[in-house]
């Protein structure tokens, strides 16, 4: 029709080739959402599991994602460097990933919060960031995991002071102002008997999602030589999405999973 | 931390000022989704109502959207020209709108499809397109409404041939190949007694959402002069989001709603 | 060859359709260049004429430029709104205009500075800016002309104080600090007998270049009825590039040249 | 002033960090320019030297350029990977480099073409292309050098046929159509006694510009022990821009100049 010229106003936004494309999503106003839905403090394992379930759904759909990393209300998805998804169109990638994650979050909500009515549809922003080198990509992921650690240590100390120490929120904040990591560890240990390093790695490290072949046990019934039906066990290797709660700042993880970055190390 | 330098790899993507920003969302693979969930053919009013409900939710959240237009598996949102939402950051706008629409679609699904289990989380792509002038914006919306008309006329004829005429899908397609609008109208009328222009405007025109003041009737109980409790009626004007199924290609709509484009005519 | 894949790293950068494209060039380090080549202060008519000659050369080459405006070490070129030059590729337009202007500046230097050796090749930066509406475009040009006026008034007062008033540069600067336009006019008038408004419009308004049909007188020799050779005069209308030094902030210019903005007013 | 809002219409266009930025310039319409100024065919050493002189001028001005490569009417400038020139603003970089090269070309013209009047100001387009890895950068430069070789072999054969073989241009073109490199080498050798590999490397390889410390001989007069004035010779190391006409496709060049790519090999 004579109106079709308006398509020319769309812009081309392909990502530079040969760069890592990372999509980061972050919950909008999750301060409010977490408190309105009574998230446990400082960490709600149901909420974290729901985030990870949604991320797994995204990885099942987009198989060019080779790694994902999540913590708090955010998830980052790393596409393999030579991905040609949507011709690397930036907006297409951002909106598709963000949309599927968001709808999955609602879709699976009741699996993780069976008792809690979801009061309104939540939402997430999304963005693609490009990283030219393996080092840049590792630094990006380190940045997010360091952020997880910093926030979690703070929040753990804060809520210990409030929930166990009887501090008001503002008093707790005051107490923690200006403290460094070791101070917070000390408060936790000496005042509340909490050894921070013994807390679940899920909280301290966040969640890494990888594609991995896993052995799966199967059984089948066969008629044996003696004519009797026997149950035979065997294993099959299947591609699955594996969650890990480990350090990704140091070299160990990357050495053990050296397929991700390819020739890097 | 020493990793924070990675933030510098994010790019600034502000939209040109003084342009209409239009966000268009489109369902991913809704051909499959509609058939897996037994959408009525050619139009499923529940599906259209769910789309519109989700769009209303978006407009309630983002009050700088002045108009939305939806049909089939798509919705377009028009921001007022001088909107400063997220400093006009393109990606922020695209992903937030797309995310909220997507989560709303799942959130409200069961209200519109109480009998139909949603098999998997659906998703939508999104994009911002900029239009410098009122004429460009009108042409954009005309393009979408003309698209609605063309597809709907085709689909109506197609499914009449299949469902009422006993055609196989491929025979129906063959029959319609190369026909123009008047041919399809004629087939519908002479072979199936359907006057296309009498079909619901919802199907032929799609849905326009506008913000409008509406009168609302209220009642309150007061103690009257005679000491008796009386019920008084009064009306209040409230801003609401109004759905219309009308032509937006011609001038009439724009003259009647001349606040939208401002000084344009 | 197997190396050609590197072309894919080039990005597409088309300008939004239906916007005014303005290319502004600005001399790099012309503070130094003007002093090393003994430009007259505050205004050097040779330098301004050379700038305008270079701009005319650009307009002769690119006939989709409908207007140019220059002052000091800068020139702005306005392309007609529907220009499809280089498919509106931003970088192509910027670099071509900037390159031709720069080489012209050197090429024509000796025509305007016959006595002054050009010590080194000068350079200019360039940029495209998009303006959606006629009002935005007018405001852009008004911004540049207001800038011309402000700088010229300041410089005129400054150099009067230094050259005629015996002030040192720093004393002159001090004297002018915090003064408004009327103060500077007053200083010029009462202390140096200069009526600012009588200074050449070239300095106060800058230069507008327009394409205009002009009448040109021609002569030809013909053999008359009496068999004698006669010289006949006639006029021909020819398209030329016309320099003006007038106000472009008010409406008058735009009314008199109403072809530029088209339907605007 | 109230017009300043128009600055907001300028867009931010920073190049992705940690990528090689390459600026390629290419002469506009140099087919015509070369023939109008009687360039020698197929290669004019004066023209190539003028191109290189202009490129040297650019490298003197922008010291973050670590390598340049030129052939025919084009030059490519490679910025060191971590260059922060103009905050990596794409347009600023493109236009400044392109402008200085263009003005230098005119400025130095008469040094290289003392007998030839430059008929009009020439111009060049420019563009930035980003390359994430050393391999991509090397492939880019290999692409340009392979292009040099292919064109030069063709042109050498073509002009041999025309100038020495008495072919008309169209006959020469016909003769070469569909031939591969070895065919052209064979024609040159058997019909014209030209061994292509003995032609100047300048023509076959193009020109690489590098920054290198060179030893420079100096003399000074000193009063010796015997009271006599003696001339003493000594050497000093100075940074200069060194032209090379060597292969940059193979590894040798990069091994010998391993500072350019840093840790790469
Ligand atoms: N209680 C609790 N809160 C959580 C948990 N995970 C995330 N949150 C909350 C804590 C923070 O207030 C918020 C995440 O911080 P953000 O910086 O993303 O802020 P927020 O989403 O409120 O604002 P934004 O829209 O992202 O700018 O989510 C959890 O497991 N338990
Ligand atoms: N039966 C039925 N189908 C509908 C209705 N509304 C939309 N659809 C289907 C018909 C089309 O196959 C599809 C919309 O067309 P699209 O061009 O957006 O295709 P689709 O979403 O499959 O692919 P895409 O991922 O957008 O490229 O959705 C409806 O009310 N009833
Ligand atoms: N004496 C004299 N100087 C002039 C004339 N036209 C321009 N200039 C000088 C005055 C200013 O110092 C300079 C233009 O100001 P800019 O803001 O463009 O500064 P400049 O080019 O030095 O730096 P830039 O590289 O543009 O950031 O050129 C003139 O006619 N006479
Ligand atoms: N005779 C001669 N011609 C040369 C020499 N160097 C370059 N040229 C000419 C040959 C080509 O026609 C032209 C370069 O090819 P291009 O593909 O850049 O074409 P041209 O500049 O004409 O068009 P363009 O504006 O870049 O699209 O310059 C030379 O040394 N001698
Ligand atoms: O949380 P981030 O990393 O997105 O950082 P921000 O400060 O929230 O900024 P933005 O406006 O980009 O979401
Ligand atoms: O449906 P549209 O308008 O998005 O057009 P398309 O042909 O689907 O193209 P794309 O979604 O890839 O931009
Ligand atoms: O002279 P302008 O308008 O370009 O403004 P600026 O302050 O010089 O900034 P830049 O040249 O860096 O865009
Ligand atoms: O010579 P190039 O590499 O620039 O390639 P082109 O075919 O001339 O294309 P353009 O100059 O239009 O990018
Ligand atoms: Mg944020
Ligand atoms: Mg958040
Ligand atoms: Mg967050
Ligand atoms: Mg589409
Ligand atoms: Mg669709
Ligand atoms: Mg659709
Ligand atoms: Mg500037
Ligand atoms: Mg300047
Ligand atoms: Mg200036
Ligand atoms: Mg080219
Ligand atoms: Mg060329
Ligand atoms: Mg060329």
Listed residue (D264, D212, D203, D197) closest to D243, CA to CA: D212
What's the pLDDT band for B263 if we cut at 50, 70, 90? low
Which residue of chain D has the CA closest to A137?
Answer: D18
From the CB of residue C217, how many other CB atoms can be counted at a distance below 10 Å?
8
Q: Is B43 in the pocket of ligand 2 (CB under 6 A)?
A: yes
Are C85 and C64 in contact by the 8 Å Cβ rule? The answer is yes
Which residue of chain D has the CA closest to C96?
Answer: D125
Q: Which residue's CA is minimally distant from atom 29 of ligand 2? A: B43
Residue A153 CA to ligand 1 center (angstroms) comes to 15
What's the pLDDT band for B265 if we cut at 50, 70, 90? very low
Are A27 and A21 in contact by the 8 Å Cβ rule? The answer is no
Structure tokens at D20: 């090689």
Are C217 and C223 in contact by the 8 Å Cβ rule? The answer is no
Whether B185 contacts chain A with CB within 8 A: no
State what percent of residues in chain A have pLDDT above 90.
Answer: 89
Instruction: Write phi, then psi, for A204 (nearest 5 degrees).
Output: -85, -25
| Residues ≥6 apart with Cβ < 8 Å to A125 | A25, A26, A28, A98, B91, B92, B95, B96, B99
Chain A 78-107, residues with CB within 8 Å of chain B CB atoms: 90-92, 94-96, 98-107
Measure the CA–CA gap between A101 and A123, rounded to whole angstroms.
9
**Sign of torsion over alpha carbons D243, D245, D249, D253:** negative
Whether A251 contacts chain B with CB within 8 A: no
Atom of ligand 4 minimally distant from the CA of D47: 30
Question: Which parts of B88-210 fold into alpha helices (H)?
Answer: 90-112, 134-159, 169-176, 181-186, 192, 201-205
Rg (C-alpha) for chain A, rounded Å, is: 23
Atom of ligand 1 minimally distant from the CA of A41: 1
ipTM surpasses cut 0.85: yes
Residues with a beta carbon under 5 angstroms from ion ligand 15: C 26
pLDDT tops 80 at residue D264: no
pLDDT tops 70 at residue D184: yes
- pLDDT tens per residue, range B79-97: 999 999 999 999 999 999 9
Quote the pLDDT of residue A117.
Answer: 98
pLDDT tops 50 at residue A83: yes
pLDDT tops 60 at residue A38: yes
Are D69 and D208 in contact by the 8 Å Cβ rule? The answer is yes
Whether C3 contacts chain A with CB within 8 A: no
What's the pLDDT band for B227 if we cut at 50, 70, 90? confident
Instruction: Write phi, then psi, for A99 (nearest 5 degrees).
Output: -65, -45
Name residue C79's beta-bridge partners: C21, C65
3-class SS of residue C218:
strand
Are C74 and C82 in contact by the 8 Å Cβ rule? The answer is no
- Parallel, antiparallel or unpaired: strands B124-131 and B229-244: unpaired
CB contact under 8 A, D14 and B11: yes
CB contact under 8 A, D17 and B8: yes
CB contact under 8 A, C133 and B130: no
Measure the CA–CA gap between C211 and C255, rounded to whole angstroms.
16
CB contact under 8 A, C3 and D92: no
Structural domains of chain A ordered from first start:
11-150+200-205 (3.30.70.3000)
CB contact under 8 A, C133 and B136: no
- pLDDT tens per residue, range C67-107: 999 999 999 999 999 999 999 999 999 999 999 999 999 99
Are C196 and C156 in contact by the 8 Å Cβ rule? The answer is yes
Across all residues in chain D, what is the average pLDDT?
96
Quote the pLDDT of residue C265.
Answer: 46
Structure tokens at C206: 């800058």
| Residues ≥6 apart with Cβ < 8 Å to D181 | D150, D153
Quote the pLDDT of residue A225.
Answer: 83
Whether C134 contacts chain B with CB within 8 A: no
Atom of ligand 4 minimally distant from the CA of D43: 30
- Any idea which ligand is nearest the CA of B31? 2
Q: Is B34 in the pocket of ligand 2 (CB under 6 A)?
A: yes
- Parallel, antiparallel or unpaired: strands C74-79 and B74-79: unpaired
Quote the pLDDT of residue C227.
Answer: 86
Quote the pLDDT of residue A264.
Answer: 53
Measure the CA–CA gap between A40 and A46, rounded to whole angstroms.
9
pLDDT tops 70 at residue D265: no
CB contact under 8 A, A16 and D133: no
Rg (C-alpha) for chain C, rounded Å, is: 23
Name residue B65's beta-bridge partners: B79
How far, in Å, are A177, A252, D166 from residue A263 at the CA level? 44, 16, 56
- pLDDT tens per residue, range D135-178: 999 999 999 999 999 999 999 999 999 999 999 999 999 999 99
Chain C 9-38, residues with CB within 8 Å of chain A CB atoms: 9, 11-12, 14, 16-18
Measure the CA–CA gap between A112 and B125, rounded to whole angstroms.
27
How far, in Å, are B153, B182, C132, D104 from residue B190 at the CA level? 15, 12, 50, 78
How far, in Å, are A244, D95, D109, D126 from residue C61 at the CA level? 64, 18, 21, 18
- pLDDT tens per residue, range A187-237: 999 999 999 999 999 999 999 999 999 888 888 888 888 888 888 888 989
Are A122 and A33 in contact by the 8 Å Cβ rule? The answer is yes
């Amino acid at each position: 029709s004579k109106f079709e010229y308006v398509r020319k106003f769309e812009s081309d936004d392909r990502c530079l080739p040969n760069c890592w494309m990372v999509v980061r999503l972050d919950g909008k106003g999750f301060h409010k959402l977490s408190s309105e839905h009574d998230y446990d403090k400082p960490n709600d394992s149901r909420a974290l599991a729901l985030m990870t379930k949604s991320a797994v759904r995204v990885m099942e759909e987009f198989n060019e994602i080779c790694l994902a990393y999540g913590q708090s209300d955010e998830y980052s998805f790393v596409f393999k460097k030579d991905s040609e998804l949507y011709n690397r169109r930036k907006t297409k990638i951002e909106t598709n990933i963000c949309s599927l994650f968001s709808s999955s979050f609602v879709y699976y909500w009741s699996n993780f919060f069976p008792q809690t009515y979801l009061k309104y549809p939540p939402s997430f922003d999304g963005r693609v960031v490009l990283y030219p080198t393996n080092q840049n990509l590792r630094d990006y992921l380190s940045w997010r995991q360091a952020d997880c650690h910093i926030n979690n240590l703070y929040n753990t100390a804060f809520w210990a002071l409030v929930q166990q120490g009887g501090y008001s929120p503002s008093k707790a904040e005051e107490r923690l102002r200006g403290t460094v990591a070791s101070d917070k560890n000390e408060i936790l240990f000496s005042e509340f008997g909490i050894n921070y390093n013994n807390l679940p790695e899920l909280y301290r490290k966040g969640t890494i999602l990888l594609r991995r072949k896993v052995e799966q046990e199967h059984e089948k019934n066969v008629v044996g030589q003696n004519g009797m039906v026997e149950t035979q066990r065997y294993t099959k290797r299947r591609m699955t999405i594996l969650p890990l709660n480990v350090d990704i700042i140091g070299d160990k993880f990357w050495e053990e999973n050296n397929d991700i970055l390819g020739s890097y190390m």
